[in-house]
A and B are shown apart, each in its own frame.
Chain A
């Protein structure tokens, strides 16, 4: 398959329960070779063969970018999700063979920054783990503000605070500790870049506050992988062949295309990178756009769709594939 990036055959060499919601997985190349290097903030797409269903879920790499022996990810169990995280938690064992994509970075550090200010919420900590390893190796200046529900659920909070006591600040929801964002943003030296990864509400709050406080958009970076959401089944017609493909209730349009053998492009599978942008030839109905890629104008004009996360409701949809 030419879509996505190149693939790596790996073996699971470690599975660790970090806390009651999060498990960490370590992957090494099955052929004994080295893993590709990456930069902090990169993710890999994990292929999961779950019976008849193939899931492709992106996870941020949290290991040291310079460590060529293995890739490490942490997966938070999502009971209400479509099953990817549950598969990782329940099915994956040490010794299993799996397939990962080459790393792709949509949340890279801007190395022109004079300082990196990081805001993490919950499992959103994972890309920062790799970025902090990268920055501490290169002498980069950083400060992390990490919001967790409880100390027990604060993945890696203890080790980060222990290793970088001057740079890491942990906030516990159950103790009503809240990041004083306005004050934090106003006190940053010129040339600081802001990074946020966490729940959607937190990302929106940080972006909105930064904008209100005069931070330039170029200095505000965020990563929010959208998991495709379930919805009503719909049909999509390929303009090239006239083939009609049904997108199931719990399937994304991209997954339906792939299941039908269509080699559709993708990278992030989370509405962020723009790789899967697809032209709409005709449609009768309305789009449910859920991506961060298309502009508001593009979303209303009805000529584009991002099949990784967006859906359609109506009579007919013909796409340029």
Chain B
């Protein structure tokens, strides 16, 4: 199952929708892993959209499964890359060349959507005008509030900060500017008293 219904939480926690085609002069789509399914669904629902679409896709662990299927949609431009940092210069260039009327569609994991959204907001698109659809892993991009280090793809709570080694509690408190959830030391009062780690949403 690639769709997951996140339980209702605090206002800071991003919520995701379903991608729908909107009128626009150009269409920029960024997806990772199972996020490709959302683009495939979008293309099926809106014939003709892909002819004007620039697709940036990061297969992550899905190999060629989705990459092939995206190729058959014949988007105007298709970039398939190994990681978000590798794709970021292309995303920035696409945004800096764009005009008003550009529609942005993001799909896949929260970390990918959050980082791409940060770039789109920075480029001047209002947050509410950027479409998102969560697919695939519920892994999170976490910021350690103590050392400020980012740990990617966190799937357990608590987890160990990849930078400073503190035991961090996974909060729903989200920073759009950092494109990361906040991780707070769980055993500050009583060092070593760390509850057993659980899979997120298990």
Q: Tell me, yes or no, whether B178 is within 8 Å of chain A by CB.
A: no
**Contact at B123–A214, with CB atoms within 8 Å?**
no
Complex Cα distance A192/B123, Å?
Answer: 10
Q: Are B102 and A214 in contact (CB under 8 A)?
A: yes
A234 interface contact, C-beta 8 A:
no
Answer whether A190 and B125 are a contact pair too, CB < 8 Å, given A214-B101, A215-B100.
yes
- Does B149 interact with chain A (Cβ within 8 Å)? no
Q: Bound state CA distance, A214 and B131, in angstroms?
A: 13
- Given known contacts A214-B24, A214-B25, A189 and B100 CB-to-CB distance under 8 angstroms: yes
CA distance A213 to B103 in the complex (A): 10
A191 B23 Cβ-Cβ under 8 A: no
Contacting pair B23 A186 (CB below 8 A): no
CB-CB under 8 A for A190 and B23, given A114-B124, A216-B126: no
- Contact: B128 with A190, CB < 8 Å? no
Q: Mark out the residues of chain A between 216 and 244 whose CB falls within 8 Å of any chain B CB in the assembled complex.
A: 216-219
Residue contact B125 to A215, C-beta cutoff 8 Å: no
B22 and chain A: residue at smallest CB distance: A214
* CA distance in complex: A186, B99 (Å): 7
Complex-state Cα separation, A45 to B33, whole angstroms: 57
A188's nearest neighbour on chain B, judged by CB, is B100
Q: Can you list, as one digit per residue, whether each of A73-99 has a CB less than 8 Å from chain B (1) or not (0)?
A: 000000000000000000000000000
A190 and B98 within 8 A (CB): yes
Most-contacted residue by chain B among A187, A212, A216 (CB, 10 A): A216
Give residues 173-213 of A contacting B (CB, 8 Å): 185-192, 211-213
Q: Which residues of A contact B100 (CB under 8 A)?
A: 185-186, 188-190, 192, 213-215, 219
Query: Which residues of chain A come closer than 8 Å to B99, judged between CB atoms?
Result: 186-190
Q: Could you tell me if B25 and A213 are in contact, using CB atoms closer than 8 angstroms?
A: yes
Give the total of A residues in contact with B, Cβ under 8 Å.
Answer: 20
Cα A185 to Cα B128 in complex, Å, equals 20
Give 7 new A-B contacts, CB below 8 A, not counting A190-B102, A219-B100.
Answer: A114-B124, A185-B100, A188-B100, A190-B124, A214-B100, A214-B102, A216-B128
Number of residues in B with C-beta < 8 Å to the partner? 18
Considering residues B22, B96, B100, B103, which has the most beta carbons from chain A within 10 angstroms of its beta carbon?
A: B100
A186 and B25: CB pair below 8 A? yes
Distance in angstroms from B157 CB to nearest chain A CB is: 34
B107 within 8 A of A: no
Within 8 A of B (CB), among A25-40: none
B126 near A215 with CB under 8 A, answer no
Which residues of the other chain, B, contact A211 by a CB distance below 8 angstroms? 23
User: Could you say which residues of chain B place their CB within 8 Å of the CB of A114?
Assistant: 124
**What CA separation (Å) do A22 and B93 show in the bound complex?**
48
**A113 at the B interface (CB under 8 A):** yes
Contact mask for chain A residues 145-165; partner B; CB cutoff 8 A; 1 contact, 0 none: 000000000000000000000
Residues of chain A within 8 A (CB-CB) of B98 are 190
Contact (A213, B101) CB under 8 Å given A186-B25, A190-B124, A191-B123: yes
Question: Closest Cβ of chain A: how far from B126's Cβ, in Å?
Answer: 4
Please indicate the chain A residues that have their CB under 8 angstroms from the CB of B23 in the complex: 211-214
**Binary A-proximity of B125-141 (CB < 8 A = 1, otherwise 0):** 11011000000000000
Closest Cβ neighbor of A210 among chain B residues: B100
A214 touching B103, Cβ below 8 Å? yes
State in angstroms the CA–CA spacing of A215 and B101 once bound together: 5
Q: A188-B99, A189-B99 are in contact. Are A216 and B129 (CB under 8 A)?
A: yes
Distance of A206 Cα from B25 Cα, bound (Å)? 17
Cross-chain pairs A/B with CB under 8 angstroms, 23 sampled: A112-B124, A114-B124, A185-B101, A186-B99, A188-B99, A188-B100, A189-B99, A189-B124, A190-B95, A190-B96, A190-B100, A190-B102, A190-B124, A191-B123, A191-B124, A192-B100, A211-B23, A213-B25, A213-B100, A213-B101, A214-B24, A214-B25, A218-B129
